[in-house]
Every structure is written in structure tokens, then in C-alpha cells.
Amino acid sequence: MARIYGLETEYGLAHTADPDGRRIGPEEIARYLFRPVVEWGRSSNVFLPNGSRLYLDVGSHPEYATAECDDLGDLLSQDRAGEGLMIDLLDKAQTALEVDGIGGRVHMVKNNTDAAGNSYGSHENFLIRRTLDFNRLTTVLLPFLVSRQLLVGAGAVIPRRSAFTPDEEADRSEMMFGLSARSDVMWEGLSSATTRSRPIINARDEPHADAEKYRRLHVIVGDSSMSTATSALKIGSAVLMLDLIEQGARIPENGLRHPVRDIRLVARDLTGRVVLERTDGTTTTPLGLLGDYRDRAQRIVESGEHSLGDDDLAHYVIDLWTRMLTAVESQDFSTVDTEIDWVMKRTLIERSLQRGITDIADPRIHRLDIAFHDITPATGLFPKLEAAGMAKSLVPAEAAERSKDVPPASTRAAIRGEFVRAAHAARRDYTVDWVHLRLNDESGRAVALKDPFATTHPQAETLIAGL
């Protein structure tokens, strides 16, 4: 069984000024950051030789969308390569700021909330077959997505009492450590709007592939992950759920009666025992749901009929999933404390609370939280944990470095990467999107790579050979 998946990550930008210097805002930082990108590709929206897309959308959150992968290891490596590329751009921006006499220090964070409290995303994309009943799929998947944060949330200081309707205000007088801040900005299970009434699953039907055969599932509820182990469990568990559904597993179809309420309740319960009501009136808990899914996913991994592309990683996903459930049940997290984002963040916060900070809403805790997500090598906490061996990494530095230039070999990204590299080297004017390759200075039509699994394409090869 095979599946395509890709991960979009938006980053946050900040600048700390020198004592006597000017402080610049995110938009100006973004302009500095994208200067080399614009020089390279004459646009702030480019596809790179590794098959990925690097761009600056509205607002000032640089985004990296990985190339299409059909192997979990490739995805982890491509995503890390994106971090590496951002760090390279950050270094150049830092130098340019110094040259321009602005100085200070620029920072980049891989989190999901900016200083003004706006939420931004990490989108997971999964190829599904058009023959699948989309409504059934989302009904079965929603309880999984509502509860998955117990395994892979980034951890966040959130109001103890959330707002349950969009016109309510959360009560920020009492704060607590919860699993995810992203849960509080989800207002629907499924919809095609991504901004105001943000849904857990985006229903926009834009397959980036042969629309008769495929559909792209666009999940927007997840937190960005610092740990590659957390990423592996986040994406790996979702892929296995889709495998189960596509293979016709009889997962109970009665969804949750109040998904928008439940996602907030789950975020506030570190024990996984909060009671969730199903549409048929029965009840369950996050631990109950995730334990049931884990058992089914384990069977699919043992049968080899999964689409993670790598049996060892598939077994690792099941193993970490199992250890995490046991940890939550026993509240002894020592077996997962180098692998799961929220567990690692909580340990850091608890240590500060023991060292005399009494209030979890203290600005120093807030700064610690931001530092956890800072990917800047000089100031980031997570990179330090990894370097010290206190956070497990599934992606060797050399693999991430290589993926900055080399696309996944087993999807159409390989063709796109080759085209971009060759067209750029030949100084040709070209346009690329997820499906198309085109030379603008030729009257020929765009080549359409409609099959994301295909690594060869005669027309594309002719186009590349002619460069």
C-alpha cells in the first residue's frame, strides 16, 4: 500500500534590538529573510531543487511545504531540511541587518501562536483515493484528531477555562499547562474555511493530482513539532488511521457529539480520562479511543500493509504510541521524556516553577515556552536539548543537510527537483507548481505530472533534456 504525504510549516519571526538600536517588526524581518530567495528565484514564492515550496504568504510567516513523500523517514528528513534552510536564511538576514546598521538579533520560532496571539499553522496533507466516502472518512477520523494531542501536542500554557463559542472570551484569570493551544482556535470539525471558523479538517477539494483518482486530505489541527520523534508519531499515526479506513477496518463510525467542546476538554486533561460523548449516546475517553486505534494500527503494521514506507519506523511509531499510552495511564513519563514535545516542555516549566517562579502565567515561563520552539542555533532551547542528547533525533544531521538539495526519490518530486535545478542552471524562465512544469519562453504547453507516485515522465524528460 502506498500513500503520498507532505507537511506545511509556518514559522514565526522576531527581532530583539540592540540597546540603542531600532527594533524591526516581522514584516521587515521577512523582507530581509527572503532577499536571497527573491535573488535566486525572482519571487518570494519558489519551488526548490529538493522539490519543496518555500514562500511568504500574506502576513509575515515564512512557510516551507515539504515535497511529496511516500516514506515517513523521507518526510522527517525533508521537514528538517526546511528548518535547515530557514536557519541558513536567518544567518544571511542577520548579516544583512548588521551591514545595514540595524543589528540586534533575529529569531525564528517553529510554534503556532505569535506575540499578538494569532494562531498559524502546521498543515498535514495526505493523499486518499477518490473512491473513499469522504464523509465517512472524516467521521471516523475526527475523534482521532481530537484525541491525538494527548500523544503529540506541543504543550502550552492555556486558560483553564476556554471559550466554547466564537463570541465567548476565554477566562484568562487562571492559566494551566495543557496539551495544545491550537485546540482553542478550532471552531468546526470539517469546513472549507481556514481562517475565521477554522476547522480541524479543511474540506477544500484541491487534490494536486488526477482529481478522478485522488483527493488530498488537508488536516490543519496539528501543532508543529520540534522533536522528530513527536513528528513521526503525529504523522505516522494519522497515516496508519487512513490505511485502516481505506482497508475497510470497522472502526466505530459514531463520531463525537461535541467535537469543538471535546477538543478543548482533551487539551486540558493530561490524564486522558476526560469523558467524551458519542453521537449514539455512549461515552469514551481519549485513552480509550487512542488505545483502540493503537491496537488496530499495530495489526496493520504487523501485516506489512501500511503506507509508512519503512517497517522499522512503522514499528517505532507503534512502540512510541504504546509507551506514551502507558505513560499517561501511570503518569510516569520517564519512558518518553526524550521523545514527546509536551512532556519535554512540561519538565522545563516544572523545573522553573521549582526554582522560585510561582505563577505559570509569569512572563519568564512565556519566554521559556518561546525558547523551546526557537530554531535559532544560538538561542533555541530544543536544539540544545538535542545536541546534549536529551531529545532523541530520528534524522541524522547529514540526512537533513542532504535533503536541502535532494528531493525524495520515490515520488514525482524527483522530477520537479530535477527540472527546477536544470532550468535554473540554464537561466531559463520557468513556472512550477505541485503538478505542472513549464518553460515560459517556449510556446509549448505545461507538462502535467498528474500521478504523484510516478518518478518517470517521458514529456518531462524531454523538457529537461532540452535545457
Number of residues that bind ligand ATP (CB under 6 A): 23
Residue 209 interacts with ligand ATP (CB under 6 A)? yes
* Residue 427 neighbours by CB under 8 Å, 6+ apart: none
For Mg ion, the closer CB: 69 or 290: 69
By DSSP bridging, strand 199-202 and strand 188-191 are parallel
For ligand ATP, the closer CB: 173 or 456: 456
Residue 452 interacts with ligand ATP (CB under 6 A)? yes
* Exposure b/e, 414-446, CB count within 10 A at least 16 = b: bbbbbbbbbbbeeeeebebebbebbbeeeeeeb
Residue 332 — φ and ψ, nearest 5°? -110, 105
Task: For the segment 415-434, give every residue that binds ligand ATP (CB under 6 A).
Answer: 434
Q: How far apart are CA 123 and CA 223, in angstroms?
A: 9
Q: How far apart are CA 180 and CA 201, in angstroms?
A: 17
Question: Which residue's CB atom is positioned nearest to ligand ATP?
Answer: 6
Of the residues 12, 47, 53, 415, which one makes contact with ligand ATP according to CB under 6 A: 53
57 is catalytic: yes
* Residue 340 neighbours by CB under 8 Å, 6+ apart: 151, 152, 227, 229, 230, 233, 320, 324, 333
Q: Quick one: what does residue 81 bind among ligand ATP, Mg ion, none, with the CB cut-off 5 to 8 Å set by partner type?
A: none
Q: Is 32 annotated as belonging to a binding site? A: no
Q: How far apart are CA 460 and CA 447, in angstroms?
A: 6
Q: How far apart are CA 237 and CA 294, in angstroms?
A: 8
Of the residues 68, 74, 243, 374, which one makes contact with ligand ATP according to CB under 6 A: 68
In the set 18, 57, 337, 359, the catalytic residue is 57
For Mg ion, the closer CB: 8 or 184: 8
> Which 8-state DSSP code applies to residue 227?
S
Residue 294 interacts with ligand ATP (CB under 6 A)? no
Residue 123 interacts with ligand ATP (CB under 6 A)? yes
Cell numbers given for 72: 515517513
Each residue 3-22 as x (binds ligand ATP by CB under 6 A) or -, in order, gives -xxxxx--------------
Q: Are 372 and 226 in contact (CB under 8 A)?
A: yes
Report the Cα 393 to chain-centroid distance in Å: 16
Q: Is 63 annotated as belonging to a binding site? A: yes
For ligand ATP, the closer CB: 214 or 419: 214
Helix, strand, coil abundance in the chain, percent, nearest 5: 40, 20, 40
Q: How far apart are CA 101 and CA 97, in angstroms?
A: 6
**Least gap, CB of 327 to Mg ion (angstroms):** 32
Residue 123 interacts with Mg ion (CB under 5 A)? yes
Q: What is the C-alpha R_g of the chain?
A: 22
Of the residues 148, 182, 198, 218, which one makes contact with ligand ATP according to CB under 6 A: 218
Q: Quick one: what does residue 53 bind among ligand ATP, Mg ion, none, with the CB cut-off 5 to 8 Å set by partner type?
A: ligand ATP
Residue 72 interacts with ligand ATP (CB under 6 A)? no
Residue 8 interacts with Mg ion (CB under 5 A)? yes
Which residue stretch of 15-23, 60-68, 243-251, 272-280 sits at the interface with ligand ATP (rule: CB under 6 A)?
Answer: 60-68
- Return the active site residues: 57
Summarize the annotated binding site for Mg(2+) as residue ranges.
8, 55, 63
What residues make contact with ligand ATP under the rule CB under 6 A?
4-8, 53, 65-68, 123, 125-127, 206-209, 214, 216, 218, 434, 452
